[in-house]
Amino acid sequence: MKPNPVHGALFGLAIGDALGVPVEMIKRDVLKKDPVQDFTNYKGPEGYKGHQQPVGTFSDDSSLTFCLAESLCNGYNLNDIAARFVQYFFEGYWTAGGVVFGVGKSTEDAITRLRDGVLPERSGNYDVNCTGNGSLMRILPLLFYLRAYPVGMRYHMTRQVASITHGSIQTILPCFYFLEFALEILNGSDRQTAYGNTAKTVSTFISNLEPGQQHMDVLTPLINEDITQRSEGSINSIHHAVHTIQAAMYCFMKTNSYTEAVLMAVNLGDDTDTTAAVTGGLAGLYYGFDAIPEKWIAQLKRSNEIKDLGDRLTKAMGL
């Protein structure tokens, strides 16, 4: 296990997110001409500057991740997780600078339902056409809680936490794959071993779900293929969870450092903050906190508070 796995994951995710915020929804061909290479108020060929936020600002991806991490410091409680999500959206809790921005429609609607008294077991969007990545982007801290449980319980908890906002199988399975792969990394597997083991674990488990083959199709490119053999042009970086997990795995598996991984993810364009957040969480976990550039850690908003959160979660999880 890498030293400081919690810190690597939290900072890795938040820095990826913050790198992507200024260029969210910029197209890949534009970024190819003027790629993101550092924290910046991006003003590329189109003069675009996403969300008008200061350098180092993270978005809802990180804020909701930190809400989950805070809750897990006190154990596993869906109602507490949900309450923190409400506090974030309506009070600015765990925002980078007091401003809530970039929240997807399913997430906004679910958190509003939570505020209005709907239980977290029922608050999410369960429509089969709900495909957004709003649960995938925030679920990584759950890894540290569920790591000692058998796979059936890991799936159950993943589904519960994901479904607070996104209850479709199209969103739950990418979260499940993400955490199962991250668990392999946490347990010390190299990337290729983790990739192979995760494919076996996930395919075996979901084949027993009903209907198994339909579920399997959601993750086919990761279970039945080597994602690194695909061309970059075939990797989609829009906001659907199934595409985000593929793009993140592609960037993580194709590169050899934290910096390379998150910059590749950002420069895929479109949903830049979330693709880089998911990629960055894995890369930070794998390469370790010390592999993240110090200048990025220093520039990240609320860096000291994130470090404190990491300390507390590490202690609470017995890591």
Tens digits of per-residue pLDDT, 129-167? 899 999 999 999 999 999 999 999 999 999 999 999 999
Question: Tens of pLDDT along 37-53?
Answer: 999 776 666 555 667 78
Position 6 scores a pLDDT of 98
- Quote the distance between the C-alpha of residue 111 and its chain's center: 18
**Nearest partner of 6 among 251, 318, 257, judged by Cα:** 318
Would you say residue 197 has pLDDT above 70? yes
Tokens 């075939």 belong to 234
Cβ burial of 73 (10 Å; 0-12, 13-18, 19+) is middle
| pLDDT mean over 45-62 | 80
| pLDDT mean over 66-82 | 98
Position 267 scores a pLDDT of 97
Domain boundaries, the chain: 5-316
- Give residues with Cβ within 8 angstroms of 228, minimum separation 6: 250, 253, 254
Give the burial string for 194-220 (b: 16+ CB within 10 Å, else e): bbebbbebbbebbeeeeeeeebbebbe
- Look at phi and psi of residue 94 and say left if phi exceeds 0, alpha if psi is from -120 to 50, else beta: left
Least confident stretch, 1-5, 55-59, 93-97, 231-235: 1-5
Would you say residue 212 has pLDDT above 60? no
Position 50 scores a pLDDT of 67
Sign of the dihedral defined by the CA atoms of residues 106, 111, 116, 120, in that order = positive
| Euclidean distance between CA atoms 136 and 104, whole angstroms | 12
Indicate the residue type of 5.
Answer: P
**What fold is seen in the domain 5-316?**
ADP-ribosylglycohydrolase fold (1.10.4080)
Least confident stretch, 110-119, 220-229, 276-285: 220-229
Which two structure tokens, joined as six digits, stand for 277? 């957040």
What global pTM score does this model have?
0.96
Position 49 scores a pLDDT of 60
Would you say residue 248 has pLDDT above 80? yes
Phi, psi of 125 (to 5 degrees): -85, 110
